[in-house]
Amino acid sequence: MNQATTKPHRDTIVVEQAEILNHDAFDGDQYIMRIQAANIARRAHAGSFVHIQCDPSLPMRRPISIMRVDKETGWVEFLYKVFGEGTRLLSQRKVGEVLDLFGPIGVPFMLHSERSRPLLIGGGVGIPPMIYLADELRSQKEFNPFVIMGSEVPFPFSPRPSTMMLPGMPDGAIACMPLLEDWGVASRLTSTQGYPGCFDGFVTDLARHYLNALNKQQREQIEIFSCGPTVMLKAVAQLAKEFDLPCQVSLEEHMACAVGGCAGCTVKIETESGPAMKRVCVDGPVFNAHQVVF
């Protein structure tokens, strides 16, 4: 089964006034916000993002990846980190206030049933799309995903030891995300900060342990999906090339309009007809990692 990857067109992006339902702060200037945005929730897929007006005093919007949605009740959830003035103002917004935003925007991840062991790799604020993708995968019995998440600040949840056994896991690499464990999705956490139970190293280091422990037939069922800082995505793309695996990456770029008009978020992509500049907002944010010129 393949998930559609059509570009945004009429009626796929909506403007919505969304009430803040919850807004929780975590260590490392991280925040999780849940909003009521039924129209966006109904149209979203893993890899989608929204363009948020962080505060009425700041006209320029900010793109933020969607972490979870509930299509029935209509809520949408984000994890973001304070990096500048926009996210600082967003962090001050209160429950009950209303945000102006539009979305969902972007080409989502595409699933292939013949690649039944998806390997999801998220780093920092690139973790949310991996959680969303895991949420979509858990209801599809043909897939057996494994999620690796890395962070250099405390995770915005309380890790716990996993009860799910995995091949190639180094001794002591037992910490998982409780939400994923409750969903029946295997996960492991990595960091170089010495957090208890986390693998001491980069996400790609742990992924290499895992891939080396699989046999040839098992590796042929792997497809890598990833989101995170550019330096991490470059390393993930190199890892995929090393093991001759397909790989989709969701790129993070600053953007102004987010609907393809300004071309301020372009990246260089190798196409069949040669190098081309593609817009992360509407041509992506998900691209074939082997075509991205990092």
Say yes or no to pLDDT of 101 above 80. yes
Contact 228, 126 (CB under 8 A): yes
185, part of any domain: yes
Instruction: Say whether the peptide bond before residue 285 is cis (omega within 30 degrees of 0).
Output: yes
Q: Which domain holds residue 188?
A: 117-252
Count of H-run helices and E-run strands, the chain: 7, 18
Confidence (pTM)? 0.93
Instruction: Look at the block and give the residue holding tokens 């693998």.
Output: 199
Radius of gyration for the chain, computed over Cα atoms and rounded to the nearest angstrom: 18
Q: Considering only CA atoms, which of 257, 285, 264, 252 is closest in space to residue 61?
A: 257
Tell how far CA 36 is from the center of its chain: 20
> What integer best gives the mean pLDDT of the chain?
94
State whether 92 and 128 are in the same domain. no
Which of residues 105, 131, 154 is at a domain's end?
A: 105
- What distances in angstroms separate CA 109 from CA 30, 32, 200, 223, one per listed residue? 25, 22, 29, 11
Tokens matching residue 80: 């973001």
State whether 128 and 70 are in the same domain. no
Residue 1: the pLDDT is 40
* 87 against 1, higher pLDDT: 87
Which of residues 72, 105, 138 is at a domain's end?
A: 105
285, part of any domain: no
Helix/strand/coil for 33: strand
Each residue's pLDDT tens digit, 164-217 = 999 999 999 999 999 999 999 999 999 999 999 999 999 999 999 999 999 999
**Helix (H), strand (E) at residue 23:** strand 14-26
Q: Kindly write down the DSSP assignment for every residue of 148-167, as one continuous string.
A: EEE-SS--SS--EE-----T
244-268: b (≥16 Cβ within 10 Å) or e: ebebbbbbbeebebbebeeeebbbe
State whether 153 and 240 are in the same domain. yes
27, part of any domain: yes
Contact 175, 195 (CB under 8 A): yes
The C-alpha atoms of residue 21 and residue 161 are separated, in whole angstroms, by: 30
Residue 4: the pLDDT is 41
* Residue 60, domain CATH: 2.40.30.10
Each residue's pLDDT tens digit, 210-245 = 999 999 999 999 999 999 999 999 999 999 999 999
* Residue 157, domain CATH: 3.40.50.80
Residue 9: the pLDDT is 52
State whether 169 and 87 are in the same domain. no
Q: What share of the chain has pLDDT > 70, as a percent?
A: 96
Mean pLDDT of all residues in 36-44 = 96
Helix/strand/coil for 133: helix
For residues 34, 130, 236, 153, the Cα torsion angle rounded to the nearest 10 degrees is: 40
**pLDDT class for 2, splitting at 50, 70, 90?**
very low
The total number of structural domains in the chain stands at 2
Contact 223, 115 (CB under 8 A): yes
State whether 164 and 227 are in the same domain. yes
Residue 252: the pLDDT is 85
261, part of any domain: no
State whether 72 and 122 are in the same domain. no
Q: Considering only CA atoms, which of 63, 53, 58, 54 is closest in space to residue 105?
A: 63
180, part of any domain: yes
State whether 134 and 182 are in the same domain. yes
153, part of any domain: yes
Each residue's pLDDT tens digit, 119-165 = 999 999 899 999 999 999 998 989 999 999 999 999 999 999 999 99
State whether 216 and 248 are in the same domain. yes
148, part of any domain: yes
Residue 12: the pLDDT is 80
Residue 3: the pLDDT is 43
